[in-house]
Amino acid sequence: MLPRRVLGSVRKWSKGKKAIIVLLAGFGLSVVVLILTATTIVYTSTEEFCSTTCHEMTTNVAMEYKGTVHDKNRTGVRAVCPDCHIPHAPIPLYIRKMGAVHDLWGHFISHSIDTREKFLSKRQELAERVWIYMKENDSRECRGCHTAAKMDPERQSEKAQARHAKAKKERLTCIDCHFAIAHTEPEGGVGPQELEVDKSLISKGAIF
């Protein structure tokens, strides 16, 4: 077979002093691949990439995000696309990036949401995928900015205090209540609290 012949030729050619050349070439190639991979991960984790690379995002979710509390507020602290949709820890980040191949094929290459009408028809399905993902990881990305242990109840309204106490008692997670903050809520569908998830996937001790 061709791969075996190529490998055999390399082995034959790299005997003796030439072996160091092969090792250096392999090392150099590994460094290049590593740099390209890291650069790709960094670039695809920016607001610019998420919101302007394809018109499906530009004319739908990116448009809805503008002017929301995560985009513009009194403090000037913004939460952009990657803050909410991409894990901050290395291993979950790599897994999520590999899973993005599904989105690339399932939505963009197949043109399943390339018009506003198609996007609206799939809004509930798309929202539920994100909600379930966030429920099963206990709203991990939300907690990248919001730390429940550091919240000051005295600065919260009585209603907020009561709802947070209820959420803690019922083992709810952030997305159960705080959804449709940056994007329009689907019409006529169920919300996050009505969705069934695998509770065993939720990190123990991290419930709100």
**Is 187 a member of any domain?**
yes
- pLDDT tens string, the chain, 208 residues long: the values are 556 776 777 677 666 667 787 788 889 999 999 999 999 999 999 999 988 888 888 999 999 999 999 999 999 999 999 999 999 999 999 998 888 887 888 778 888 898 999 999 999 999 999 999 999 999 999 999 999 889 998 999 999 999 999 999 999 999 999 999 999 999 888 899 988 876 555 443 333 3
**Is 13 a member of any domain?**
no
**Is 100 a member of any domain?**
yes
**Is 116 a member of any domain?**
yes
Domain membership of residue 95 as a residue range: 18-201
Phi, psi values for residue 79, rounded to 5°: -110, 115
Instruction: Please give the tally of structural domains in the chain.
Output: 1
Closest listed residue to residue 184, CA positions, set 136, 111, 116, 138: 116
**Is 76 a member of any domain?**
yes
- Answer whether 0.75 is exceeded by the pTM: yes
The domain spanning residue 61 has which CATH number? 1.10.3820.10
**Is 1 a member of any domain?**
no
**Is 41 a member of any domain?**
yes
Phi, psi values for residue 146, rounded to 5°: -100, 115
**Is 8 a member of any domain?**
no
